[in-house]
Structure 1
Amino acid sequence: MKSIAVVGYGVIGKRVADAINVQDDMNLIGVCDVISDWRIQNAIRKEYDIYAATAEAEKEMKAASIPAKGNLQDLLKKTDLVVDCTPKNIAAKNVEIYKKLSIKFILQGGEKHHTTGHSFSAENNYQSAINLDATRVVSCNTTSILRTLTTLKRADLLDYARGTLLRRATDPWESHLGGIMNTMVPEKDIPSHQGPDAKSVDPELDVITAAVKVPETLSHMHYWNVKLKKQATKEEVLNAFKTSTRIKLINYDQGLVSNNTIKEMFLDMGRPWGDMYEVALWEDMLKVVGDELFYAYVVDNQAIVIPETIDAIRALTGIETDAAKSIAKTNISLGII
């Protein structure tokens, strides 16, 4: 049993903490943050040990009657590995602390690849992460790109891929603070960062992405045009996608016509927060024309990286050296069937 700490108890951190808590081969030793509001109160309700990230945060927690067990340094003394889920750029500063204390750590996709020197996607490069000191679980969109393209690559179908991403404007709980209304905002650069980010995991991929920010908060949507190595049938392509346990094939003609209906399905399935850990890819929309493949899917940016993070913990700590066994174990624990 490895002792795992979560630093940053926000949208990703709270989900990572819950996922760690249902594993039988790792122990959530505590969560650490600067907040003293309803979010950390929920962590107390779940009986997680709370730690303050800064001296000021510790004072505020004490004033709010939050039973903090200590500060970040106190937490790290008990920890085998840290999953840092703090906002972009904060984690990069925390890295120096982890390195000084020789503690393994996992960062999220908002940080740069060079911060860890390794970027992770469970079905692609699990083996290369075994017993490393650090890795970065790539972003939600990049995770979806790697999952789908890796299946095509394994089937020896993938030549190159070109994708357009429709990106949600902000997280739902922060909609009152920002986002966009009645407009769409294209990213200036082509390729957008997701394509090069996918290549940080798999340099062999020939992938280019373009992205547009759209006025909604439920999910991202991707459209892909893939050049296949040979002419193939739709069945061959679907069989390739089915080799991933984290791609869920859905059908437009079953009423799953939009991201909100897909979200409702996962809520009805009993997933916490209606989380969709899988890539939801439309089976009946997928088209193959000669050696060209066209498909679309939806990405839950709050949830897709959660199983990847659990697998990354196992790889770095050496709990499990077989990628397939780790993925299967994580899937069962999170209800991915």
Structure 2
Amino acid sequence: MKKIKVAINGYGVIGKRVADAVSLQDDMELIGVCDVVTDWRIKMAVSKSYLVYGFDQAVSNQMKEVGFPVVGSLDDMLQAADIVIDCTPKKIASQNLPKYRLMGIKFIVHGGEKHETTGHSFSAENNYETAIGRESTRVVSCNTTSIVRTLTALKNAGLLKKARGTLLRRATDPWESHLNGIMNTLVPEKDIPSHQGPDAQTIDPSLDVITTAIKVPQTLSHLHYWNVQLSRQAAKDEVLQAFANSTRIAMINYNDGLPANNTVKELMLEMGRPYGDMYEVAVWKDMLKVQGDELFYAYIVDNQAIVIPETIDAIRALTGIEPNAEKSIIKTNASLGIKQSFY
């Protein structure tokens, strides 16, 4: 089997997770990671035997000065790759696109970039086929990924009419909370709808979805509350079956000692998940309620992990190594241990 040669540009919160996930795939080969820093993050990449590249010659020289076995520059890495996953910080990736296009390499960006950077936004269970063979795509943000997953499940079951959601957003990534966190306050996003609703519509324009968002002083994960008008009156079991048709939605129970984000994080650590990551959307089954044609539910989104399986599937779609969405999803789920029930 010919393996797709994958390069990672940006070895931070998302980049290191994508690198680890790529390394688990039997149809992909991680050919290297590239960054601009020379701190502990690159030391960890070296300890995992990942080939390390500096962004340019100056960065490569700095890495060599501190003893890293640098292979070359970003250009060198791209020349050896079939596809590059840009995991650089928000708005940086768009500056790298001219280079990728000039070199004729396929590329994936993430939700920090605008839809227009690629003209295509990706969610595996929704629009995998439309990405096959494309030059590029954008894996949407963690919150948008969760929105599309859950609403697509309801839509595919013929239950969705319109959806209104409130997002309680973590303030920053945990490892940066000493720099960018907020304390003793809540910060509502000024615009209604918040950007996640329109972002979900870049994947499926037919979704009637409006979101509002509030930044809260914690860093573990996001929490969503949703009020959905169903297309007809339905029973709770019908809704649960609709969610069960998505392999990346997992049910949890408040009464199982999982009433909050931190308890679910502890569960992931107990399960031995790398970094305590949760790739699934965790929906509270015993909180979910249906009244006539109205559905109320809440769930948790792991902002650092949920886009990782989507990125793996996007690699297969862009390169065409797997034209069937279901087969790619099954392969990715198995490699990452994604499940619909945690215990």
**TM-based fold match above 0.5:** yes
Map of 2:215 onto structure 1: 213
Structure 2 residue identity aligned to 1:137 = V
Map of 2:103 onto structure 1: 101
Map of 1:121 onto structure 2: 123
Partners of 2:68 and 2:38 in 1: CA distance: 7
Structural RMSD (CA): 0.5
Partners of 1:153 and 1:136 in 2: CA distance: 22
> CA shift at 1:179, angstroms?
1.3
Map of 1:150 onto structure 2: 152
> CA shift at 1:54, angstroms?
2.2
Partners of 2:241 and 2:128 in 1: CA distance: 22
> CA shift at 1:302, angstroms?
0.2
Unmatched 5+ stretches in structure 1: none
Map of 2:206 onto structure 1: 204
Report matched runs for 1:181-192 at 5 Å.
181-192=183-194
Map of 2:23 onto structure 1: 21
2:257 corresponds, among 252, 255, 258, to 255
Question: What secondary structure is seen at the aligned counterpart in 1 of 2:316?
Answer: helix
Asked if residue 68 in structure 1 is aligned to residue 67 in structure 2, the reply is no
Partners of 1:232 and 1:152 in 2: CA distance: 11
Partners of 1:137 and 1:176 in 2: CA distance: 28
Map of 1:175 onto structure 2: 177
Question: What secondary structure is seen at the aligned counterpart in 2 of 1:295?
Answer: strand
Question: What secondary structure is seen at the aligned counterpart in 2 of 1:238?
Answer: helix
Structure 2 residue identity aligned to 1:33 = D
Partners of 2:203 and 2:303 in 1: CA distance: 19
Map of 2:84 onto structure 1: 82
Question: What secondary structure is seen at the aligned counterpart in 2 of 1:176?
Answer: helix
> CA shift at 1:55, angstroms?
2.6
Question: What secondary structure is seen at the aligned counterpart in 1 of 2:181?
Answer: coil
Sequence identity percentage: 69
Question: What secondary structure is seen at the aligned counterpart in 2 of 1:153?
Answer: helix
> CA shift at 1:58, angstroms?
1.2
Question: What secondary structure is seen at the aligned counterpart in 1 of 2:134?
Answer: coil
What CA deviation, in whole Å up to 9, does each residue of 1:79-128 have, x standing for no partner?
A: 10000000011100100000001100000000000000000000000000
> CA shift at 1:239, angstroms?
0.3
Partners of 1:152 and 1:172 in 2: CA distance: 32
Partners of 1:35 and 1:118 in 2: CA distance: 30
> CA shift at 1:62, angstroms?
1.2
Structure 2 residue identity aligned to 1:211 = A
Unmatched 5+ stretches in structure 2: none
Partners of 2:246 and 2:56 in 1: CA distance: 41
Partners of 2:186 and 2:58 in 1: CA distance: 39
Structure 2 residue identity aligned to 1:30 = G
Report matched runs for 1:321-332 at 5 Å.
321-332=323-334
Partners of 2:32 and 2:63 in 1: CA distance: 15
Partners of 2:155 and 2:170 in 1: CA distance: 28
> CA shift at 1:270, angstroms?
0.8
**TM-score calculated relative to the size of structure 2:** 0.98
Which consecutive segments of 4 or more residues in structure 1 shift more than 3 A? none
Partners of 2:165 and 2:5 in 1: CA distance: 39
Map of 1:335 onto structure 2: 337
Partners of 1:323 and 1:21 in 2: CA distance: 20
